[in-house]
Amino acid sequence: MASMPTVTDVALAAGVSRQTVSNVMNSPGIVRADTRERVRAAIAQLGYRPHASARRLRTRRSSTIGIRLDPMIDGISGSVLDRFLHALTEQADKQGLRVLLFTATSPEDEIIQLQRLNDGADVDGFVLTSTFAGDPRTKWLIENGIAFVTFGRPWGTDDVSDPQHLWVDVDGWAGLHEATQAAQNAGARRIGYIGWPSSSDTGEDRRRGWHDAMHERGDVTEADLVALEVVTVDGVAEGTAAMQSLRRTAGPLDAVLCASDSLALGAMIANPERVPVTGYDNTPVAAAIGLSSVDQSVGEVAAGVLDLLTGEFGGQVHGAPKSLQPRHQMIKPRLVARAFAAIPMEVLA
């Protein structure tokens, strides 16, 4: 069997030293452009691949990203993070990066896991999900100078533009605003909303999209909007109860929007008039039953996360230089409209 090409082979083919080959692979910015291209051409011609273990020992970089594996919520809305994780893993692999999964029982426990993985040089950076105002995880990572990007904005008024906190999020306001306008353009005037408590920053962001679009139309009062809204925690049973309450208090409805597909599925169960219902997250369940839903474009989110984590502003991953400029990406979701009630209501009941 032919031996694998070595650094020495690449150096001889490119007419440079072994150190120059190492610099091209680990610190390309310090190598002249023409020399860098010559070395890369030799690497491609010979099919050279650096030994991963030896490279980790030399560079203290593992080419690995750590992310907490969140528990499934109810098998419906919880699938969004699962789809994000798959997209992140697939796209990271194309960049020569691996994804390491770990579990934690709380934000405080997650910090313990972050420290353990960082101290052991097991990962170069982290991706955080489920952010909230005053998140202690991001504070700890910033204080310890560890590279990270969050799927979810910081939410605090003082740290949304923090140059040390890189983040990617989906514009929930835009998603519900578009969904509301689509219902209005279809002739709906009295559009109900089933959302989460105000303590949920994500839920409040989505609620404002519905609220602002309703106000912009100018044919409903604030009192109307109060009657058209029901707040509850997430879940199918909760969505059913909320829809029953909405029908009692709001009177005739032309359409109903929900903060999640779980709530929307519940609303469909308590919907004998078959009022059009729109969910949020575009889960497989929504596709299966013909439920219109707002898609979070998790593939774009994953691409944005990797762009920030490995690019110019990423800190440690791939050895990129740090920057003091604030960096974040806001992804615009899209409404996926489907023929309403593609399965008989009695199947849902």
Same domain, residue pair 79 and 46: no
The CATH number of whichever domain residue 313 belongs to comes to 3.40.50.2300
111-120, 123-132, 161-170: segment of lowest average pLDDT: 161-170
Task: Give the span between the Cα atoms of 190 and 226, in whole angstroms.
Answer: 12
Task: Give the span between the Cα atoms of 260 and 100, in whole angstroms.
Answer: 28
Contacts of 95 (CB under 8 A, 6+ apart): 306, 310
Q: What is the pLDDT of residue 18?
A: 83
* pLDDT greater at residue 86 or residue 315: 86
Same domain, residue pair 159 and 102: yes
| Mean of the per-residue pLDDT values of the chain | 85
Summarize the confidence of residues 86-102 as an average pLDDT: 91
As a whole-number percent, the residues of the chain with pLDDT over 90 amount to: 53
Tell me: the pLDDT tens digits for 139-189? 899 888 888 999 998 876 555 666 778 899 999 999 999 999 999 999 999
Report pTM. Answer: 0.76
Name the DSSP class of 163: T
328 pLDDT more than 70: yes
Q: What is the pLDDT of residue 329?
A: 85
Same domain, residue pair 302 and 164: yes
Sequence length of the chain is: 349
Measured from the Cβ of residue 159, the count of other Cβ atoms closer than 10 Å reads 19
Q: What is the pLDDT of residue 142?
A: 87
Q: What is the pLDDT of residue 3?
A: 65
How does strand 334-336 pair with strand 292-295?
Answer: antiparallel
Same domain, residue pair 134 and 199: no
The CATH number of whichever domain residue 18 belongs to comes to 1.10.260.40
Same domain, residue pair 178 and 288: yes
Same domain, residue pair 136 and 224: no
293 pLDDT more than 90: yes
As a whole-number percent, the residues of the chain with pLDDT over 70 amount to: 84
12 pLDDT more than 90: yes
- Assess if residue 343 is contained within a domain: no
- Assess if residue 2 is contained within a domain: no
Of 4-8, 103-107, 121-125, 343-347, the range with the highest mean pLDDT is 103-107
Question: Which position has the token pair 């950076």?
Answer: 125
Same domain, residue pair 230 and 310: no
Same domain, residue pair 179 and 283: yes
Name the DSSP class of 2: P
Tell me: the pLDDT tens digits for 22-43? 888 777 888 899 999 999 999 9
Q: What is the pLDDT of residue 118?
A: 87
Whole domain around residue 22: which residue ranges? 7-50
- Assess if residue 56 is contained within a domain: no
- Domains held by the chain: number: 3
- Assess if residue 1 is contained within a domain: no
